[in-house]
Copies of this chain bind each other. A is one copy, B any other.
């Protein structure tokens, strides 16, 4: 291992700010003693928290700034008043300058993406960045992307999403050839958007060495865990993610009201309380934490804004794994194979 994993944290993002961020950093450091942390934020709020955690403080470099991006800032506002100096910008900039390997923020998604894109720029061969979500399934976890970075996608962008998502699955799930499905609608002859069909054709033909393309999947395949990586453009992907979160909350609401309606149900609840707590954790969309920005020259993790220290630590852990197992190198490797395959298929097409 070349060096410690260096993680830049925006202490001022999220609904609860530094207390969640610093609490989460400590939990993640306990699990990964080989991390180094740079925290950007307001001295008055962050230093007392660090002073109370000496182990964390020893692994942490603190950088003061009194500018922070608000949760309801529009991306353009955030760029205008937060560029060069906000805690969010400085965390991303640490990655840009090579002082950190990954940046983590619970701040607002639009602003974080705008700053990350502005500062880090997209990787060679990638036009547009994407947000990948870790999605809990009946089998474990899958990766779904794009969940909202860009609207609409041509076949080439869907292919890039497949490449980036499968690289992430190799890193996180320790798989050689993760299974990949393209999200589509079911009715046989309404075969979905032209771009989805075209991307399916190319993925079938190219037979990329680092991903196993299995075909189209439908919305209900996501929760089943039918594939490791679900690829879709950002409009449908964002709607799928939000709809699933809404449905999970709705089911949790039904559960609560069912368990408080009669004395028998209340008694049953008392006996099964521990089981219910586990269940509530599984049903809480905030617990599966961490959207990963892919396609940029550097890794940025978006933690859920309303999360607690355990949830923020999950986002930091995610950043750690991505660096330790060399996500960017793996994306680059598959992109180059894809380019070569594309060239070869064009050549063979021209000569036939």
Do the beta carbons of A246 and B222 come within 8 Å of each other?
Answer: yes
Q: Does A49 sit within 8 A of B, measured CB to CB? A: no
| Nearest CB of B to A351, in Å | 35
Q: Which residue of B lies closest to A76 (CB)?
A: B189
| Nearest CB of B to A342, in Å | 26
Q: Does A270 sit within 8 A of B, measured CB to CB? A: yes
Q: Which of B240, B267, B283 contacts A251 (CB 8 A)?
A: B283
Q: Which of B222, B255, B262 contacts A243 (CB 8 A)?
A: B222
Do the beta carbons of B274 and A265 come within 8 Å of each other?
Answer: yes
Q: Does A57 sit within 8 A of B, measured CB to CB? A: no
Q: How far is the CA of A272 from the CA of B258 in the complex (A)?
A: 9
Q: Which residue of B lies closest to A150 (CB)?
A: B190
Most chain B CB within 10 A, of A235, A248, A255, is at: A235
Q: Given A219-B244, A247-B247, output 15 extra A-B contacts at Cβ < 8 Å.
A: A110-B189, A148-B190, A151-B190, A185-B239, A219-B242, A224-B246, A235-B236, A239-B240, A243-B243, A248-B251, A258-B275, A258-B278, A265-B272, A267-B272, A268-B268
Residues of A within 8 A of B (CB): 74-76, 109-110, 113-114, 136-138, 148-152, 183, 185-190, 192-193, 218-224, 232, 234-236, 238-255, 258-259, 261-262, 264-265, 267-276, 278-279, 282-283
Do the beta carbons of B190 and A219 come within 8 Å of each other?
Answer: no
| Nearest CB of B to A266, in Å | 8
Q: How far is the CA of A204 from the CA of B6 in the complex (A)?
A: 50
Q: Which of B136, B224, B262, B276 contacts A258 (CB 8 A)?
A: B276
Q: Which residue of B lies closest to A272 (CB)?
A: B268
Q: Which residues on B sit within 8 Å (CB–CB) of A114? A: 189
Q: How far is the CA of A192 from the CA of B282 in the complex (A)?
A: 30
Q: How far is the CA of A273 from the CA of B262 in the complex (A)?
A: 11
Q: Which residue of B lies closest to A264 (CB)?
A: B271
Knowing A137-B250, A193-B152 are in contact, say whether A262-B238 is a contact too (CB < 8 A). no
| Nearest CB of B to A19, in Å | 25
